[in-house]
Amino acid sequence: MAQPRPPSWPLNKATEPNAPHVPWSNITYSPAYLEKIRLVCHSQKELKKAGYVLQPLDSAQITSKARCTKCGKRRNRRARPKPVRTDAGSKNKAQTDLMSVDTENAMDEEAPSRSTTTSSKKVFGPCSYHPGSVRNKAYSCCGRHVSAEGCVEDPEHSMPPQDDARLHEHWKYHHTPSIPAQVASATSTATPSTPPVGSRRGGHRRGGRQRGQPFIADDSTRSHTHSHNHNHQQQQHKIPRSLHAIALDCEMGTSAAGDPELIRLTVVDFFSGAVLIDNLVSPSVPMAHYNTRYSGVTARDMRQALARGTAILGCDRAREALFRHCAVGPDTVVVVHGGASDFTALRWIHPLVVDTCILETYTYSGVGSTKTPGGRSLQNLCKLKLGIAVQVGKRGHDSYEDAMATRELLVHWAKGIPDV
């Protein structure tokens, strides 16, 4: 008897991000469903292992983030002890030639079989940098490719002082405030402070909107500020008054100092699928590039968003938009995929997180189980678990598509959890 032919993949026939055939699920809110997703929120131990920052950085940790203002390198961290195993049976062998012993790394032969040694680190070295800017993937100072070593060399690096206020403010993490605190902050007449690191770029003063005011998606302004062809406008719903759960995704570029910087933020209500925020974020520090190959954001997109007044100015304002305009509180479940970098870009610490990348590890935690074929990337999990294709376009990722795909993975997980 002939076997039925399996459905062709992908089920959504997707060839571009946000293809209209993507079958995003409709979810009806219920306390029981909310309890399901709360059950899979990760412990502090799990989040820490996955790279999430759980407490504000102390002074030493922030100082270690400092980079040379010319070449962008960080000072070497203190060398960590490296475990070394010695052969217990070697004592019965012939004596080792003393001339061949590495006295820098070798331990006494009488030491225990498991010992420690200091791993060697690359010397900080002189400062090699490019004084010019990047244009068409080449430096204006020497014409070399952006991957080339510096064309100017100085014997000393230019490091900021340890008590540099801008550095400490730039790496300051924030816990999710309570809803009453958000309301009080939103109704305050105080003007938000200017982001402390670097000078504002000229584009921040362009456009008719009040400088720095976040642009939040609403029923009359669903179009996006960059050039992608989106097809989710018809899927908008009324935003609920209080948020039980959201799905979030960010895109990051690279600052001139070499750190990831938030350049796009997308937030959708988990239950209704309503787009709460989907805006470009103009960094408050000079940028090396927007990582367009993966982020899908170009310098032109950012200039247009600034001119229209739809760009959020800096990660501080983006985080405030989450708290003030989206009513995200400590009890809101935040759904992400590999979200440690997203929370870092937002400088955000939140107690209730569901990371679908971590969830997938639960499937091979038992005896005899195997790891996920192809890995735990969002693209691969959507292919294996959902039969849909995402991140297949040639213009980089789309944070709306990624947020909705992450939401869909959790819906798939929730189907296997009995009602409580």
Specify the higher pLDDT residue, 231 or 399: 399
DSSP E strands in 166-224: the ranges are 174-175
The residue whose two tokens read 């012939």 is: 94
| Residue 420, domain member (yes or no) | no
| Residue 334, domain member (yes or no) | yes
Q: In which band, very low, low, confident or very high, does the pLDDT at 34 lie, cut at 50, 70 and 90? A: very high
Query: What was the pLDDT predicted at 181?
Result: 59
| Residue 13, domain member (yes or no) | no
Question: How many whole angstroms from its chain centre is CA 278?
Answer: 15
| Residue 304, domain member (yes or no) | yes
Q: Residue 184 is encoded by which pair of tokens?
A: 């009080």
State which of 94-108, 229-243, 257-271 shows the largest mean pLDDT: 257-271
Other C-beta atoms closer than 10 Å to the C-beta of 14 total 20
* Phi, psi torsion values for 33, nearest 5 degrees: -70, -40
Burial status of residue 123 (CB atoms within 10 A of its CB: 0-12, 13-18, 19 or more): exposed
**Residue type for position 62:** I
d(C-alpha 236, C-alpha 233), whole Å: 6
**Residue type for position 263:** I
Burial 353-385 (b: 16+ CB within 10 A, else e): bbbbbbbbeeeeeeeeeeeeeeebbbbbbbbeb
pLDDT, tens only, 352-363? 999 999 999 888
| Residue 419, domain member (yes or no) | no
Q: In which band, very low, low, confident or very high, does the pLDDT at 372 lie, cut at 50, 70 and 90? A: confident
pLDDT, tens only, 8-30? 444 444 434 444 457 789 899 99
d(C-alpha 282, C-alpha 23), whole Å: 32
CA distances from 66 to 174, 219, 235, 259 (A): 20, 43, 44, 10
Write the DSSP symbol of residue 343: H
Q: In which band, very low, low, confident or very high, does the pLDDT at 137 lie, cut at 50, 70 and 90? A: confident
d(C-alpha 218, C-alpha 237), whole Å: 10
**Is pLDDT of 244 > 50?**
yes
Computed from CA positions of residues 243, 246, 252, 258, in that sequence, does the dihedral angle turn out positive or negative? positive
Query: What was the pLDDT predicted at 403?
Result: 95
Query: What was the pLDDT predicted at 164?
Result: 78
Domain that holds residue 293: 31-58+182-414
d(C-alpha 257, C-alpha 348), whole Å: 21
pLDDT, tens only, 174-210? 999 987 556 555 545 333 333 333 333 333 333 333 3
CATH, residue 314: 3.30.420.10
| Residue 85, domain member (yes or no) | no
pLDDT, tens only, 69-92? 888 888 765 545 455 554 544 444
Write the DSSP symbol of residue 28: -
How many independent structural domains does the chain possess?
1
**Is pLDDT of 255 > 60?**
yes
The residue whose two tokens read 């400062």 is: 127
Share of the chain above pLDDT 70, in %: 66
Q: In which band, very low, low, confident or very high, does the pLDDT at 97 lie, cut at 50, 70 and 90? A: very low
Q: What angle do CA 194, 195, 199 make, to 5 degrees?
A: 90
Query: What was the pLDDT predicted at 96?
Result: 42
**Bridge pairing between strands 152-154 and 174-175:** unpaired
**Is pLDDT of 346 > 90?**
yes
**CB within 8 A of 55, min separation 6: which ones?**
173, 349
Burial status of residue 306 (CB atoms within 10 A of its CB: 0-12, 13-18, 19 or more): buried
d(C-alpha 172, C-alpha 319), whole Å: 12
Query: What was the pLDDT predicted at 241?
Result: 52
d(C-alpha 65, C-alpha 87), whole Å: 39
Query: What was the pLDDT predicted at 33?
Result: 95
**Taking residues 359-379, what's their average pLDDT?**
79
| Residue 144, domain member (yes or no) | no
pLDDT, tens only, 311-336? 999 999 999 999 988 889 999 999 99
8 A C-beta contact, residue 381 and residue 310: no
**Taking residues 128-150, what's their average pLDDT?**
85
Q: In which band, very low, low, confident or very high, does the pLDDT at 310 lie, cut at 50, 70 and 90? A: very high
Tally of CA atoms within 13 A in the half-sphere of 376 that contains its CB: 15
Average pLDDT score over the chain: 75
| Residue 307, domain member (yes or no) | yes
Q: Write down the pTM of the prediction.
A: 0.71
